[in-house]
Amino acid sequence: MNSEHSTILTVTKSVCPLCSKELVTNWVKDNIPFFGEVMHITSRCECGLRYSDTLIMAQFKPVHYEMKVSTQDDLDARVVHSTSGTIRIPELGIDIEPGPASESFISNIEGVLDRVSDILEMVVRWDEEDKTRRAQELQSTIKKIKAGEFEITVILEDPMGNSAIIAEKAKHWELTEDEAACLKTGMIIFEKE
């Protein structure tokens, strides 16, 4: 194996939050285009608990991306979402903010809408009349968006600067310190000394 492609595995052990047995976590550094240095984390317990994520180690200037989605072709715009990114779709009243279970992903706008639709499907199953009705309305609107019949704005903001909407139509600018301070960052922040 070439030494520049070799990886170093670090293993830590802790207590499983579900069963209190040993939780084994593997940590592997990697370098991914656009993201830069990342840490792949995989945790497993014999009780069946599994967790995996990729944490971005770099921090860039806080950023705001925005894109009008008005055609079916716009749904193909690449979305790079880090664990510290916030996605907003104002026309739908949707804000997806980072929290303890935030995951990074690379998808497209259609994939983001599919994620929203999956959450709405869970809301429909709750069987609370007002919430179910609103969730069904949003699902209907998402179908119209995918058919190119309803225009939305997708906003992606990241105080760590690790998220982006990659498309010619996408606009972006640096957030001020005050704007960035108002955003959530998720659970884990690595600071370099």
pLDDT digits (tens, 9 = 90+) for 38-77: 888 899 999 998 887 777 777 789 999 999 999 999 999 9
- Is CATH 1.10.3470 the right assignment for the domain spanning 3-56? no
**Confidence (pTM):** 0.74
Nearest-angstrom CA–CA distance, 42 and 53: 7
Q: Which CATH superfamily is domain 63-181 in?
A: ZPR1, A/B domain (2.60.120.1040)
> Which residues contact residue 133 at a Cβ distance below 8 angstroms, ignoring those fewer than 6 apart?
none
**Stretch(es) of the chain classified as CATH 2.20.25:** 3-56
Beta bridge partners of 48: none
Q: How far is CA 100 from CA 41, 63, 140, 188, in A?
A: 14, 21, 30, 8
Nearest-angstrom CA–CA distance, 132 and 96: 19
Q: Which band of pLDDT confidence, cut at 50, 70 and 90, is reported for residue 167?
A: very high
